[in-house]
A and B are shown apart, each in its own frame.
Chain A
Amino acid sequence: RKEVEQDPGPFNVPEGATVAFNCTYSNSASQSFFWYRQDCRKEPKLLMSVYSSGNEDGRFTAQLNRASQYISLLIRDSKLSDSATYLCAVHTGGFKTIFGAGTRLFVKA
């Protein structure tokens, strides 16, 4: 079993749609959780950190469920510019960060 698993993509949604991505992790000692955005042929950039209390940044909401070892990202009112690959990342007790395979999102007009 992979340490970090994400929903297989791609997701094709119309502008204005709400889309949710899920991610599970296997190491219960994991300490920090993140969502990164990666545009085609570019480096990943931090989108949001994920906290147990949940956090929101504009149209983006991230949630963490430690009991189920599950992370989610919700994007509301999708824009064309949201088209990208979204990577779930887990910072483990071994002081390293493990990434999921990524979920590709296509938002169409």
Chain B
Amino acid sequence: DAMVIQNPRYQVTQFGKPVTLSCSQTLNHNVMYWYQQKSSQAPKLLFHYYDKDFNNEADTPDNFQSRRPNTSFCFLDIRSPGLGDAAMYLCATSRDEVSTDTQYFGPGTRLTVL
């Protein structure tokens, strides 16, 4: 089945130790998104790629970076995780950048910062 895959499902890191979360898709979609979802809060868009074009949200901290080496893969890098970065990180894809295109979500990676 075509899908959005996130690895790992659970990630534990230490305060200040860089961490990378991975997302891959078999849908061949142009757009890939990263959302942050803190406990009992709404998912919040961090940034997205349309093909190779990176689009950062204005309030996304500089601590968060992303890479998309090819259509299938997208990475979220947290350069120096703080305790406040503990959250569920959701990857999503859509065919195009219009709201009529459904976003398909992966199962998420739960990040714990010690």
Q: Are A and B a genuine interacting pair, yes or no?
A: no
Q: Residues of A with Cβ closer than 8 Å to B? A: none
